[in-house]
Amino acid sequence: MKIAFMFPGQGAQFVGMGADFFNKYKEARKVYEEASKIVEKDIAKMCFEGSIEDLSNTKNTQLAISVTSLAILAVLKSFGIKSSIDVGLSLGEYVALIDSQILSMEDGLKLLERRSYYMQAKAPNEKYYMLAVIGLDANKVEEICLNNKENGFAVPANYNYSGQVVVTVNEDKVEKLKQDFLNAGARKIVKLNTSGPFHTEKLIEASKCYKKDLENVTFNLKENVVIKNIDGSFYTKKDDIKKILEDHIISPVRFDKTIKTMQNEGVDTYIEIGPGKALSGFVKKECKDAKVFNVQKVEDLDLLLQELKINVGGKN
C-alpha cells in the first residue's frame, strides 16, 4: 500500500470544523494550542465559534484550514498512519511542507499568516469571483477566457482534474462567462466560496511583498516527498523553493498534473485530511480503482481505521 496525504485549500471551511477532533483527541488539542501561541490568535475559537463570514475572510481562512488539517493529521499519525507522498491545494501545500518537515510548523503558520494578509491587503480594489467549470476541456476554457480578455478579466486559476478548471473572473464578466462556458458544452458552473483573484497576476504586489518574508525562513528540502502545485512535479533539493512559493501566489494550481504524478508513482490509497471533500472528488474522477478517503470528522477517521484494520483501543 502506498499512501498519499492530501490537504485542502481555501473554500473548504465551515464553522465547527475540527471541533469533534479537538474534543476527543489530545493530539488535536495540542496542535490548536500550539498554533494559537505561534500566531497569537485563538484558532480553536475562530474555527468553532466564529461566523462563516469571518471564517471565510482570507486572513482567517488560511490559518483556520491549515491548523484544522494539522490537528486531524496529528491524530492520524498517532494511529501510525503515514504517507509516502504529500500534496496540497494552494494553502494546503504548506501543510504538506510542514508534514514532510521541509518547513517547521512555526515558520509555516507565520508564513501563511503573512501570505493571507498580503493576498487580502494587496489585492486590487475590485470584486472577483472564482467559477468552477465542470465538463469542459481545459483548452476550450482557456480559449473562452482569452476571448473575454478585452474589457474584463478571466483566467484559469486552478486545473483541478481533466474535467474541471476554476476560472477567476471580475464581477462584470461573471454572467457572460457562465453563459459562454455553458454554450461551449460545460456540464455545470459552480461559484466558489472564495474572496479574491487568487493564483493570477492580479496578486503580483502580494507576491512581491511576500518575498521578503520568505527570505527569513529556512527550508529543509527533500527529494520526492512533496509535489508542487505550480507544475505537478516533486520538489527537489535543487529547487529555489522561496521563488516557487513567491510565484505560487500568482501561478495557476496544477492539481490535474499532481494527480497524474501520484498515479505514476504507484499511489493506491489517497487520504484527504481537513475540511471538505473536493480533493477526494478530483482523485475519484481520475483514479477509478484507487482507495480514496476524506477525513474531516471523527466518523470519517473511524471508517478509515476500519478500512486499514487499525485497532482504535481507548485513545482520547
Annotated catalytic residues are: 90, 199
In 10 A of CB 221, how many CB atoms?
Answer: 17
What single letter denotes the amino acid at residue 154?
A: A
Q: Show the cell assigned to 290.
A: 484507487
Residue 64 to residue 60: CA distance in whole angstroms: 6
Residues 6+ apart with CB under 8 A from 50: 15, 60
Task: Give long-range contacts, CB 8 A cutoff, 24+ apart: 104-108.
Answer: 105/34, 105/35, 105/38, 105/70, 106/38, 107/217, 107/218, 108/66
Instruction: Give the torsion through C-alpha atoms of 279, 281, 286, 287, to 10 deg.
Output: 90
In 10 A of CB 167, how many CB atoms?
Answer: 27
The full length of the chain comes to: 316
In 10 A of CB 229, how many CB atoms?
Answer: 28
Q: Show the cell assigned to 130.
A: 472564482
Q: For residue 206, give Cα distances in angstroms to 27, 117, 199, 201, 275.
A: 34, 9, 11, 10, 26
DSSP letters for 70-97: HHHHHHHHHTT---SEEEESTTHHHHHH
In 10 A of CB 78, how many CB atoms?
Answer: 13
Residues 6+ apart with CB under 8 A from 74: 25, 27, 28, 30, 31
